[in-house]
Amino acid sequence: MSRGTVAGVVALVVGAAVVVALSVGAAGPPPFDATSTSPSGYAALATILRDSGAQVDVRTATSVAQQGFGPGDLVVVPAPELASFAELDALRAAAADGATLVLGSPPPERASTIDVGSLDEFVAPVSSTELVDDDLLARTPAQPVDPGDCDAVEFAGLGPLDGAFAAPFVPSGEPGALRACWGNATGTLVSSEQVGDGTVVTLASPELITNARLWPDKEGGGEPLANAALLLRPAEVAAAAGPVRVTFVRAEPSPDASIRGGGPSNPLRLLPAGVQAALVVAVVSFLFYAWGRSRRLGRVVRERAPVEIAGSEFVEAVGDLLRRRGSPARAAAVLRSEFRRRVGTAAGLGVAPSDEALLAWLERYSSHDVARLHAALSAPVAGPEELLDVARSLDAIEQEVSGVRHPT
């Protein structure tokens, strides 16, 4: 591999690494995050809760499950399928102790054929929450859904709900403890279950309370629907026990999450979007580099690149030329040709002036007599001594007229 190829490959790798670093560093918070102002974020609700006096925190499912919760706590889990069954059990136990738990989607069901004690590690595959493109989430008009026969006390008296990205589900739990709102014959969009001293609220989709769906028709003058109340009403219920502490769980898979892959997948699709983009840039860059370094068809065009020799090295160059070629006449011809080109260009006579035109110009600007000028330009050269005389004469003449500028 040539040195240029190695340098190109190294530059390509460094460029790809820079793109990856910038992409990863520029990546925003995950969807349904309380710090995200993107259409899929929850920052709007977090701000409203803070303004109402609630203490808002953002944590992982693992750390939330290890902390004790009780009355006055509201825990929001946008994607329950990204938590392990052990974590979900701990959160449900916190609800039994008096906390209010809001699940962004129905939790995954345990496989009935597997021993309950082993489900923390071995679970049946479940579908993950399908993320909606932010642009689509922001542009889609509202699809109001009437509350119907709402028997959940915390949601009583609310109006239509925007159900554009939610599919009705059939809630599971103790029949006597279940309440539902915004339902139809196929299911409901919101369910509420009394668990011990607390409540578990389950939404049909985490998109119901994202930033973009709190007021989807704002630009068209539409009124906000009841989506924000899906979190604000449970917070009011929790406030009955004192100051409200709202904890948002990040939508990130825990090490033993209840979701598992259902088969082989393309490993490239598992990479972050920034890494995928960097790989594409690297491949395209390498193709362009390979094309640029590949063999070109056609004859190579050789351009003349004269090297200017300092006057002090002129005689030495003539001697070296004589030694290598062994032909004084040929060497003299080369010297005279270069002299005509340089002096003729400086005098404005062109790169190959005739002897008559060049002599006439030298007679005007040089102190040498006509005989010496003629001998330097055209006298025959038979041996080394004559060649050296020609070289010295040409050098002396050029040094004398080198400062002369021809009129423009």
Compute the average pLDDT of residues 104-111. 84
Where does the pLDDT of residue 14 fall: very low under 50, low under 70, confident under 90, or very high at 90 and above? low
Q: Give the residue among 308, 307, 309, 316 at the shortest CA–CA distance from 391.
A: 316
CA 204, CA 80: separation in Å to the nearest integer? 12
Domain residue spans in the chain? 1-27+273-293, 28-260, 312-401
What pLDDT score does 25 carry? 47
Higher-pLDDT residue of 119, 58? 58
Query: Is 50 exceeded by the pLDDT of residue 127?
Result: no
What pLDDT score does 310 carry? 55
Average pLDDT, the chain: 79
Compute the average pLDDT of residues 75-81. 92
Compute the average pLDDT of residues 27-46. 86
CA 179, CA 201: separation in Å to the nearest integer? 9
Higher-pLDDT residue of 36, 385? 36
Torsion sign, CA atoms 43, 167, 136, 260: positive
What pLDDT score does 319 carry? 61
Q: Give the residue among 134, 132, 141 at the shortest CA–CA distance from 215.
A: 141
Contact 81, 259 (CB under 8 A): yes
What pLDDT score does 373 carry? 81
Higher-pLDDT residue of 226, 127? 226
CB 220: neighbour CB atoms within 10 A?
8
Predicted TM-score (pTM) of this structure: 0.56
What pLDDT score does 132 carry? 84
Q: What is the DSSP string of 32-100?
A: T-TT--STT--HHHHHHHHHTT-EEEEE-HHHHHTS---TTEEEEES-GGGS-HHHHHHHHHHHHTT-E
Compute the average pLDDT of residues 22-43. 77
What pLDDT score does 357 carry? 83
What would you measure as the largest C-alpha separation in the chain, in angstroms? 129
Higher-pLDDT residue of 273, 19? 273
pLDDT one-digit tens code per residue, 81-90: 888 888 899 9
Q: Give the residue among 215, 225, 203, 248 at the shortest CA–CA distance from 74.
A: 248
pLDDT one-digit tens code per residue, 53-75: 999 999 888 888 778 888 999 99
CB 85: neighbour CB atoms within 10 A?
21
What pLDDT score does 250 carry? 87
Higher-pLDDT residue of 361, 21? 361
What pLDDT score does 54 carry? 93
DSSP state of 304: P
